[in-house]
Every structure is written in C-alpha cells, then in structure tokens.
C-alpha cells in the first residue's frame, strides 16, 4: 500500500501556525532569529517558538526550523547556538543551506535530523545521494524538477524527497540568484530578497508592461496521487509571507485531497485561486514544459476574498478542528487508589487518585465516570472511548474524577512532547592549515572558443576555465603554460550525465586536467576521472567551515561567494586555497526558461543539450529594466538562460584584492571580444583604471 506523503505547511507567524495545524498539516516550517530565508516574515520569538513546539507536538505535528541562509564566520556561532537550543527543545529537523553550518551541525549535533534546503540547488540523483551520504534525512528538490526528474531521484536516493506543490515560483534556481544582492544589496541567499523578478522588463527592448521574470504560482493539487506512487515523502506549500487565512485555506484543501485520495473539485481550485494567485496557476515545470504561458502577475490593488478569509479564520480560531483521539480505561476498586489509563495509539499513561469511600446514599456508576471522562472540551484531546470498572457501593467525588482526567491528559501531553535523547558534542576546531597566499595568481574563464587566443595565453593565466560544451566542439587546445579546467553545466538532469561523461573523456584527451565544481551533484560525475576538482561560485562559499567541508570532499581549491565583502574574504581561514572573481559580468540568474524564446522566439528544440552557436540565443540578447540598464542574456546548457549584470566588475586599479590571502583571482569573460579579453588581462597585470561604466560589486558594501 502506498503511504501518504507528509503535508508541510508554512508558518510565518504563530497565528499561521495555528491555521496550518488546525487545518490538517502534518508538519510546519518556521523561522526563529536572523538566519532564515524569510527574514521579513513575522517569524517567532523564543517564547513563541517553545509554545509552538508544545502546541504542535501535542497534536502530532512535526516542527522544522529554517536556518537556510548563508552565514559569515561571525554569524556561525550564534546560528549553531540557535540549533543547539532548538535541539534541546525537541525540534524535529533543521533546514540548512550553508555548507559550513551543515558541517558544524552534523559534527556537533549528530542526532539532530537535517534537511537539505532547496537553496542547496539539488536537482539530480547524484546531488541527492551526495547529501544522503553526508547525513541528510531529507532532500528538498528544486522547484524546476519535472515528474520524470523527481521519480528518478525517488528511485535512486535512499532518503526522503520533498517537493514544492503550491505557492510562489522563483525565476532563478533557488540558491543561485544574485539579482537582488547585486542590484540593491539585499541578498536572497541571506533571506532579504527584494523580488526584482516581479518588476517589468523588456527582452531586447525597453521595459513596458512585460513581466518576463514573473512566474505564476505553482499548483500541483492534481498530481498528489502520482507523487505518492513515485515515493515522494513530503509535499511542501510555500507562504511564510502570506496571511494566516491563506495558509488555512491551502492547507485544508491539500489535506483533504490527501486524506480522500482524489483530485480537487472545481470549487476547491477556485478557492485556491481566490486565496492567492498570479494570473492563475501553472504546473508546467512538473509536466516538463516551459514557455511564456507560465508567466503572470498580481495587480497591486488586488483584494483579498473577504468572505472566504473570514470563514477560514472563524474556523481555525476555535482551535477545535484538530484534536487527538484518546481511549480511557478507569478502575475504581474498594480499598485501592482509583486509576486511569489514557492511550493515544502510541503512548499509554496511568495516573492514580484517592481511595474511594463507601457509598452513604447512592453508589457511583460506571456510566457517571465515563460521562465525566468524556468532558475533554478546551483541550487538544477528544474521548474516543471510556471503559470503566467500578466496584459496588463506592463513592468518589466528581472533582476527583475530573482531576484524574486532567492528570491523565497532562501525563499524556508530557509523553507526546518528550524530547528525544540527542548528543551534544564539543565544537571541533578548524584544521591547523593555512593556504593563504601573499598575492593571487590570475586565472581566466571564457564563454566561447573564440576568446581563447594566443594573445590571452601569452599573458600567462595560471588557469583557464572553459565550458564543457565548448570543449566538446574542439579538436585540440593551444599549447600553453597553463592549467586547463572544464566548467560543467550549472544545471543538468540525470538523463544528461552519460553525455557529460563522454564530453569529460574528450576534454581529458584534449589535455584538460581539472574540473570546476559548481554544484554538489557534479561530484558523482567527476569521481574516478583523475581530475583536480576546484569549487566554483555556484557552491556559495561564505565562511571558513564551508572550505573545511569542501576540503573533506576532495576539492583542491574553492571560489568564494561574490556576495562577500573584501574584508570578509580576507578574514576567512584559508584551510583550502581560495579564489575570487575580480573582473567580469557577475551572473544574476540562471533560469529554466529560455528568456529569448519566451520574449521573441528562437524556435529551438529544448531537448537538445547545447544551443547551436549560430542560433538566436547566441546573438547579442539583453534584458532591459525600467532605468534603461541592459542585462546580457547568455545561453546555458539545456536551452536555459543565464542573466548577467549590466556592468562589469572592475578592481584592477584597487590593489586591495591582492591582499586578501587569495591563491587565485579570476577574470570572468562573457560578452567580451577576444581583443577585449587581452586588454582586460593586461590592465589587471598593470593595475589600470576602467574604461566606461563599471561596478565595484559587493567588495566594499556587502549585502544584507
């Protein structure tokens, strides 16, 4: 028999938590403190969090804490202490994004269940299995995964798989978006996303009333049966920033669909859309489809459905929609303390009361006792049955029976909310290793074969990064005193891996001896190939402990997150040789949808792994915002799109980047001509100022 998935509801506030629980959630996820991906939600105070745990655990609902943001070295101790405290209180699991926090949690709190947040960008079986091997109990998949992708991961991964079934869709893969950070200094990876994707843009033209980055909300209410069949363990609904009434409505409908094993009615779909939608819903990612019909907006003056919300609120505020069935067994014997056992199907507790007295007038009956035991109103329990044995000619005050019932329910509550035993181990010390350098060697990454010129190689880059799909088209590489490194696609699927391995074999024949790892799932592809592994920016390395984690995974260097300030890069303990991007258009987004295809049509087969170099996606394309800023659009593997920043990062005339302890400093070439690549390389070697518009990135201002 197929088991029903757990229904996981958002709890952005105590009221939303109550709405979720009362309407049938099997678990809730919530934030406490500064380290969660919805820092603008109301979230919970310490006392509210403790109360939430008791409230949920009494009713059989699990509680997951979100600690799913990137953390600096200074923030890690506080985040770890938060984890220790909630572990002691009995939280059921913690969602994590940051590799450093993940490393510390599994070493210092080894019995605390960890869930890999969708911010970890896991979308393949290899990535899921990698996290499972590292101790994750559950993997939250990318929202872009199709039914086919998800079924493959469920078959291949030994741990639980969680899928987003309802709510907002980000345009960029979670964990890979830097648009809000680079444009406004508010990092989505730090829980401060300003949602620039909901603004108007133009593709290859001025922004008017087009919203090419604003996806409709996801709704997979019709797919729950298929998910259960394929082995999905948990269905997650988005909405920690939404109203409690919204949480109540979507939770009630999805819980009912799971319980009754059916698809939604037209009326239920209408309620879901009334509660919140952006021009309706989409299920196209799940169906393996892409295109302009997935996009929609919500008018600024959109009104909440007053009657629907009022009905939802009045229902959950009574706090009696969700009660725990209890079976009572009472024994009232002459000469012995009265006893009451309460059972909930998992726990059984027994309490005792006074010794009954001999009856003076009327004898106590079993029916009277049973009637009093059934009076559980105002509690989280309801009496399912009451079996009472009473000896003849005995008397017991009603107050004693009531006290017996209260004591039994209190004991049952204590059993249901008991904290499991968990070890707390000492915090490990950072390895006594220092891989910092007095000055970094320059490396370069290219996006096209044309950028690999004799002039560029003559400048002596220590390492040249080349996309794997570009290497696949080459018959040879120029002879040069440099290390050739393949950049694997940032996004791919299980079905692509045979081809990727063939391309890697070809790259090795060309003389490529290293690979850039930008996603944890790439490790399973690269192991056994005898190639040096270098961490790329997609891993979001934000602290020293992230370097420790990657060092233990066999990486030989790692590129630091470009959301770090220069001083933060400097202060990291370099237990692994560190690299940073010091020039180039920084990537703002990588999207499953091809923006060129949606905007003006490119008529290419998106099932093809690569985009032909003479295709429309390779011509100069851009996204233009309301200020006139133009963000170049580059084609990415699998007919996806990578959005680049409108201005290049320029630090050549600022020598500070040379004093951060970096082993390598990367020049990232994207839209540059071959000649421009050479000019930039020489400018960095000579420390020249920029020509034209540029940005200092986040090296000085950092992010929230």
Q: What is the pLDDT of residues 515-545, one digit of tens each?
A: 999 999 999 999 999 999 999 999 999 999 9
Dist CA 102 CA 296 (whole Å): 36
The reported pLDDT for the residue numbered 607 is 46
Dist CA 260 CA 172 (whole Å): 35
The reported pLDDT for the residue numbered 383 is 97
- Model confidence at 457, pLDDT cuts 50, 70, 90, reads very high
Beta strands in 560-620 (DSSP E): 578-584, 587-591
**521 in Cβ contact with 134 (< 8 Å):** no
42-51, 207-216, 357-366, range with the lowest pLDDT? 42-51
- Model confidence at 44, pLDDT cuts 50, 70, 90, reads confident
Question: By C-alpha distance, which of 166, 241, 178, 171 is closest to 584?
Answer: 178
Dist CA 571 CA 428 (whole Å): 19
The reported pLDDT for the residue numbered 360 is 87
User: What does the mean pLDDT of the chain come to?
Assistant: 95
386 - beta bridge partners? Answer: 328
Q: Tell me if residue 685 falls in helix, strand or coil.
A: helix
The reported pLDDT for the residue numbered 37 is 53
Find where tokens 């970096």 sit. Answer: 662
533 - beta bridge partners? Answer: 515
> Rounded to an integer, what is the distance from CA 347 to the centroid of its chain?
34
| % of residues, the chain, pLDDT over 90 | 90
**pLDDT tens figures, 648-677:** 999 999 999 999 999 999 999 999 999 999
The reported pLDDT for the residue numbered 79 is 95
Question: By C-alpha distance, which of 315, 298, 369 is closest to 338?
Answer: 369
DSSP state of 215: B
| % of residues, the chain, pLDDT over 70 | 97
Question: By C-alpha distance, which of 287, 281, 255, 286 is closest to 269?
Answer: 281
**pLDDT tens figures, 375-405:** 999 999 999 999 999 999 999 999 999 999 9
Paired tokens of 405: 């019932």
Q: Tell me if residue 587 falls in helix, strand or coil.
A: strand
**pLDDT tens figures, 346-377:** 999 999 999 999 998 889 999 999 999 999 99
- CA atoms in the 13 A half-sphere facing the CB of 500: 25
Model confidence at 552: pLDDT above 80: yes
Dist CA 464 CA 455 (whole Å): 13
Q: Give, in order, the Cα–Cα distances in Å from 309 to each of 245, 249, 298.
A: 5, 8, 18
Dist CA 68 CA 35 (whole Å): 7
Model confidence at 467: pLDDT above 70: yes
**pLDDT tens figures, 107-166:** 999 999 999 999 999 999 999 999 999 999 999 999 999 999 999 999 999 999 999 999
The reported pLDDT for the residue numbered 605 is 47
For the chain, how long is the longest CA-to-CA vector? 111
Residue 620 CB neighbour total at 10 angstroms:
10
pTM for the whole structure: 0.95
Give the residue-averaged pLDDT of 222-243. Answer: 96
DSSP state of 190: G
Question: By C-alpha distance, which of 133, 129, 436 is closest to 141?
Answer: 129
Dist CA 578 CA 547 (whole Å): 9
Question: By C-alpha distance, which of 518, 526, 528, 577 is closest to 551?
Answer: 577
- Model confidence at 608, pLDDT cuts 50, 70, 90, reads very low
**145 in Cβ contact with 122 (< 8 Å):** no
Question: By C-alpha distance, which of 539, 646, 674 is closest to 584?
Answer: 646
**pLDDT tens figures, 308-325:** 999 999 999 999 999 999
Residue 318 CB neighbour total at 10 angstroms:
9
Residues in the chain: 704
Residue 288 CB neighbour total at 10 angstroms:
13
The reported pLDDT for the residue numbered 130 is 98
Paired tokens of 591: 């999207």
Find where tokens 């690269």 sit. Answer: 526
The reported pLDDT for the residue numbered 606 is 45
SS3 content of the chain, % helix, strand, coil (to 5): 35, 20, 45
The reported pLDDT for the residue numbered 542 is 98
- Model confidence at 169, pLDDT cuts 50, 70, 90, reads very high
> Rounded to an integer, what is the distance from CA 529 to the centroid of its chain?
30
Q: What is the DSSP string of 356-398?
A: PEEPSSS---HHHHHHHHT--TTSSEEEEEEEEEE-TTEE--H
Dist CA 564 CA 182 (whole Å): 11
Paired tokens of 110: 């080894």
- Model confidence at 40, pLDDT cuts 50, 70, 90, reads low
The reported pLDDT for the residue numbered 410 is 97
Give the residue-averaged pLDDT of 552-575. Answer: 97
The reported pLDDT for the residue numbered 2 is 74
Angle formed by the axes of helices 544-552 and 99-108, nearest 10°: 70
- Model confidence at 616, pLDDT cuts 50, 70, 90, reads low
DSSP state of 60: T
94 - beta bridge partners? Answer: 65, 114
The reported pLDDT for the residue numbered 209 is 87
637 conformational bin, left if phi > 0, alpha if psi -120 to 50, beta if neither: beta
**558 in Cβ contact with 539 (< 8 Å):** yes
Give the residue-averaged pLDDT of 444-466. Answer: 98
Model confidence at 617: pLDDT above 80: no
Q: Is 209 exposed, middle or buried (0-12, 13-18, 19+ CB in 10 A)?
A: exposed
- Model confidence at 34, pLDDT cuts 50, 70, 90, reads confident
The reported pLDDT for the residue numbered 603 is 55
Dist CA 662 CA 596 (whole Å): 37
Residue 217 CB neighbour total at 10 angstroms:
22
Dist CA 461 CA 682 (whole Å): 11
Q: Tell me if residue 645 falls in helix, strand or coil.
A: coil
The set of residues, in sequence order, having a beta carbon less than 8 Å from that of 243 and lying 6+ positions away, is 16, 304, 309
């Amino acid at each position: 028999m197929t088991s029903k998935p757990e229904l996981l509801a958002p709890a952005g506030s105590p009221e939303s938590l109550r709405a979720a629980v009362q309407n049938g959630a099997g678990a809730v996820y919530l934030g406490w403190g500064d380290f969660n991906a919805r820092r603008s939600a109301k979230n919970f105070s310490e006392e509210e969090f403790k109360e939430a745990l008791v409230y949920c655990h009494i009713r059989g609902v699990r509680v997951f804490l979100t600690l799913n943001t990137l953390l600096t070295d200074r923030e890690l101790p506080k985040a770890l202490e938060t984890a220790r405290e909630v572990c002691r209180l009995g939280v059921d699991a913690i969602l994590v994004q940051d590799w450093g926090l993940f490393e510390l949690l599994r070493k210092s709190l080894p019995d605390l269940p960890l869930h890999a947040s969708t911010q970890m960008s896991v979308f393949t079986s290899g990535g899921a299995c990698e996290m499972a091997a590292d101790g994750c109990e559950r993997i939250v998949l990318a929202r872009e995964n199709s039914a086919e992708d998800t079924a493959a991961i469920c078959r291949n991964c030994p741990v639980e798989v969680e899928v987003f079934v309802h709510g907002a869709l980000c345009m960029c893969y979670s964990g890979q978006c830097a648009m809000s950070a680079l444009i406004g200094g508010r990092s989505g990876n730090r829980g401060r996303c300003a949602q620039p994707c909901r603004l108007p843009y133009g593709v290859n033209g001025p922004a008017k009333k087009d919203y090419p980055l604003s996806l409709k909300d996801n709704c997979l209410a019709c797919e729950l049966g298929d998910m259960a069949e394929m082995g999905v363990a948990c269905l997650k609904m988005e909405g920690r920033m939404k109203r409690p009434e919204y949480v109540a409505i979507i939770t009630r409908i999805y819980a009912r669909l799971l319980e009754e094993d059916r698809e939604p009615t037209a009326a239920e779909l209408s309620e879901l859309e009334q509660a919140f939608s952006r021009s309706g819903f989409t299920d196209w990612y799940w169906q393996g489809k892409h295109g302009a019909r997935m996009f929609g907006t919500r008018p600024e003056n959109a009104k909440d459905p007053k009657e629907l919300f009022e009905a939802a609120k009045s229902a959950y505020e009574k706090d009696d929609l969700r009660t725990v069935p209890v079976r009572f067994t009472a024994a009232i014997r002459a000469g012995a303390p009265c006893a009451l056992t309460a059972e909930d199907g998992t726990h059984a507790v027994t309490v005792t009361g006074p010794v009954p007295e001999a009856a003076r007038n009327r004898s106590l009956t079993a029916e009277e006792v049973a009637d009093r035991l059934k009076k559980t109103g105002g509690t989280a329990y309801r009496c399912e049955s009451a079996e009472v044995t009473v000896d003849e000619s005995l008397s017991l005050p009603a107050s004693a029976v009531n006290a017996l019932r209260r004591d039994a329910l209190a004991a049952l509550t204590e059993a249901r909310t008991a904290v499991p035993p968990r070890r707390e181990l000492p915090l490990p010390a950072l390895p006594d290793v220092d891989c910092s350098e007095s000055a970094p060697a320059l490396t370069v990454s290219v996006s096209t074969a044309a950028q690999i010129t004799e002039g560029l190689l003559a400048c002596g880059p220590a390492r040249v990064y080349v996309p794997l799909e570009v290497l696949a088209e080459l018959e040879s590489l120029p002879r040069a005193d440099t290390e050739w490194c393949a950049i694997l696609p940032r996004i791919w699927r299980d079905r692509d891996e045979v081809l990727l391995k063939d391309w890697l074999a070809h790259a090795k024949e060309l003389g490529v001896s290293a690979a850039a790892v930008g996603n944890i799932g790439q490790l399973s592809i690269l192991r056994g190939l005898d190639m040096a592994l270098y961490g790329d920016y997609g891993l979001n390395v934000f602290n020293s402990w992230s370097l420790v984690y990657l060092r233990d995974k066999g990486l030989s260097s790692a590129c630091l997150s470009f959301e770090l300030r220069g001083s933060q890069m400097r202060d990291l303990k370099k237990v692994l040789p560190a690299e940073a991007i010091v020039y180039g258009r920084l990537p703002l987004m990588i999207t499953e949808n091809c923006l060129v295809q949606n905007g003006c049509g490119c008529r290419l087969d998106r099932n093809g792994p690569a985009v032909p170099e003479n295709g429309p996606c390779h011509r100069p394309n851009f996204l233009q915002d309301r200020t006139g800023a133009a963000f170049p659009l580059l084609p990415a593997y699998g007919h996806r799109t990578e959005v680049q920043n409108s201005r290049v990062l320029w630090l050549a005339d600022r020598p500070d980047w040379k004093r951060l302890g970096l082993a390598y400093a990367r020049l990232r070439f994207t839209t540059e001509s071959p000649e421009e690549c050479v000019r930039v390389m020489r400018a960095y070697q000579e420390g020249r100022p920029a020509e034209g518009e540029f940005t200092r990135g986040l090296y000085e201002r950092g992010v929230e």
